[in-house]
């Protein structure tokens, strides 16, 4: 979060700005082209995070699952931050995501839960 603050994020942030989740919710089932673009964006972000985690030594399944968790959590935190007009949800989410990822480093799970 220090990077966001030091980069001028707080000063530049205009509330409310639509998140990709908000766009997805507004268009799902009604605007297929936007729905597909949103799906590709989410997948791209998950791939980026998973690549970093794999590069840090995480097994494939854990990297993929953690990437999904990171993107989902941050999107929820962004939406909550917009509603609250506060960076706190992003700060809290980032802190706990870091703890979660650190816990995998300390004690990797043998198998990821899959539905």
**pLDDT on residue 109:** 54
**pLDDT tens column, 60-98:** 999 999 999 999 999 999 889 988 989 999 999 999 999
b/e map 56-74, b = 16+ CB within 10 Å: eebeeebbbbbbeebbebb
Instruction: Work out the average pLDDT over 102-111.
Output: 71
Residues 6+ apart with CB under 8 A from 101: 53, 66, 70
Q: What mean pLDDT is reported for the chain? A: 82
What is the DSSP-derived secondary structure letter of residue 114?
-
**pLDDT on residue 113:** 56
Between helix 60-84 and helix 20-27 the angle, nearest 10°, is 90
83/7: higher pLDDT: 83
In this structure, what are the phi and psi dihedrals at residue 72, rounded to the nearest 5 degrees? -65, -45
pTM equals 0.76
Sign, CA dihedral 75-81-87-88, equals negative
> Tokens 């089932």, residue?
29
**pLDDT tens column, 22-63:** 778 888 888 899 889 989 999 999 999 999 999 999 999 999
**pLDDT on residue 106:** 73
Asked whether the predicted pLDDT for residue 10 surpasses 60, the reply is no
The band of 7, judged by pLDDT with boundaries at 50, 70 and 90, is very low
The number of C-alpha atoms within 13 Å of 5 and in the hemisphere containing its C-beta is 7
């Amino acid at each position: 979060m220090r990077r966001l603050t030091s980069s001028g994020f707080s000063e530049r942030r205009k509330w409310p700005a639509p998140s990709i989740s908000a766009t997805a919710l507004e268009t799902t089932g009604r605007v297929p082209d936007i729905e597909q673009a949103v799906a590709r964006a989410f997948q791209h972000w998950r791939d980026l995070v998973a690549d970093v985690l794999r590069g840090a030594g995480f097994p494939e399944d854990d990297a993929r699952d953690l990437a999904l968790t990171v993107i989902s959590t941050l999107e929820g935190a962004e939406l909550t931050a917009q509603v609250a007009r506060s960076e706190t949800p992003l700060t809290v989410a980032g802190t706990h995501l870091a703890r979660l990822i650190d816990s995998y480093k300390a004690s990797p799970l043998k198998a990821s839960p899959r539905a």
